[in-house]
Structure 1
Amino acid sequence: MFIRSERLFLRPGWPEDWAELHALIDDEAVVRNLARAPWPYGPDDAKSFSSLAQDQKHPHFFITLPGAHGSRLIGCIGLAQFGAETELGYWLGQPFWGQGFATEAARAVLSLARAVGHRRVIATPFIDNTESARVLTKVGFRPTGEVRRVLSPARSEPVAAPVHAIDLAAPLDCDGPGDGNFAGMRRAA
């Protein structure tokens, strides 16, 4: 699966991406906000992640920024199964923070989530990661009031993580009541 947004190209990772991935994520300031990335993040971790198979209902993407000399990796985003729930997770390399890339990538992935049938998606940013919470608010997530304790390998301890959720509207059924009143225009052949 591939997604094109206004400025970004989201694509699967390929095994040959490992060195670029490692150079970008081998940063404690990035990994300290992630629940699933090991710390320290080594070359073998990057090789393993770059080679992960895609799941049709829970895909993950490399976020790339196309330019005159090709596409540059700037982060990752994806959907993961968390128990019975679907969770959105993402990260960007430090040079790309504060430029709206996370918001743009999240909107694109939420659109895909709706298209593949997800009706609710959660996210659990650590309580001190206010920038991530701000991104979630911009794309429509709301705090649920639940707080989970999530282990961060870079912090070596569980961290409070407020649960945010977004309810995604079901796609319109073109043959149903939300079909734009085209039913009356159809004729039996």
Structure 2
Amino acid sequence: MFAVTPRLLLRPGWPEDSGTLFAAINDEVVVRNLAKAPWPYESQDAAEFLAMPRPVLNPNFLIFSRNGKAPEFLGSIGFGDDGQGHLELGYWIARHHWGHGYATEAGHAVLDIAKTLGHPEIQAEHFVDNPASGKVLRNLGFRPTGRTAPRFSKGRGQAVDAVEYTRSLSDDDSAGDMMQNLAA
């Protein structure tokens, strides 16, 4: 499954992406904002991430620029089970690409995919010391649940308070025509 937006190409990760993925995520500032990535991040972690089986209903994508030049790797986005049976959005953007709206643009495409796949709702959260991620989530139509709860950060090696969000997909009339953006 692939998605195309005005500036981005979202596609599955392949084993040959391991070096590029490692180079982009091997940044403590990026990893500390993620729950499931370890620090220090090793090249083997990138290879294992790319080799993980992904259920068809929970795809993960690598994000590349699509600006008329050679595609540049920007980060990753996808969704999966949060461990409690809820669909959860996760994403990261390499630090030197922060502030350009890539996470929001990729997020809209992934939410369209989640809706097309029949998911009625999606959850997300951000660590309290990463308010920029909360801005992305609000721009994507997520609403704070009013709950903040500790979530273990593998990169920090400890639980960190995280602000919880939710978004209904079943009543979302802002989703575009997914057939224009999605190719299987």
TM-score, normalised with respect to structure 2: 0.89
Counterpart code for 1:88: L
How far off is 1:67 after superposition?
4.3
Q: Indicate whether 1:125 and 2:120 are aligned.
A: no
- Structure 1 residue 22 displacement after superposition: 0.4
1:182 equivalent in structure 2: none
- Which stretch shifts more, 44-53 or 9-18? 44-53
Code of the aligned partner of 1:2: F
Looking at structure 1, the residues matched to 142 and 106 of structure 2 have their Cα atoms a distance apart, in angstroms, of 14
Between 1:89-98 and 1:66-75, the stretch displaced more is 66-75
Q: Equivalent residue for 2:110?
A: 109
- Matched residues, number: 172
1:13·1:52 contact (CA, 8 Å) conserved in 2? Answer: no
Residue 187 (structure 1) aligns with: none
| C-alpha distance in 1 between matches for 2:154 and 2:15 | 24
Show the 5 A alignment for 1:85-164. 85-164=86-165
Shift of 1:68: 4.3
Percentage of matched positions with identical amino acids = 42
Checking the alignment, whether the CA contact within 8 Å between 2:30 and 2:95 is kept in structure 1 is yes
Structure with max Cα Rg: 1
- Partners of 1:69 and 1:54 in 2: CA distance: 30
1:57-94 alpha-carbon deviations (Å, 9 max, x no partner): 11100011124453221100000101210000000001
Give 5+ residue unaligned stretches, structure 2: 174-184
Q: Deviations over 1:99-121 (max 9, x none)?
A: 00000000000010000011110
What pairs with 1:57-96 in structure 2 (closer than 5 Å)? 57-82=57-82, 83-96=84-97
Report how far residue 137 of structure 1 moved: 0.4
Aligned alpha-carbon RMSD (Å): 1.5
Kept in 2: contact 1:115–1:171 (CA 8 A): no
Which stretch shifts more, 40-49 or 144-153?
144-153
Inter-partner Cα distance in structure 1 for 2:56 and 2:42:
27
- Work out the CA distance in 2 between the residues paired with 1:10 and 1:168: 20
Determine the structure 2 residue equivalent to 1:39: 39
Flag the structure with more relative contact order, 1 or 2, with Cα contacts below 8 A and sequence separation at least 6: 2
Q: Distance in 2 between matches of 1:168 and 1:65?
A: 26
Residue 147 of structure 2 aligns to which amino acid in structure 1? E
User: Which residue of structure 2 aligns with residue 179 of structure 1?
Assistant: none
Structure 1 residue 145: deviation in Å?
A: 1.1
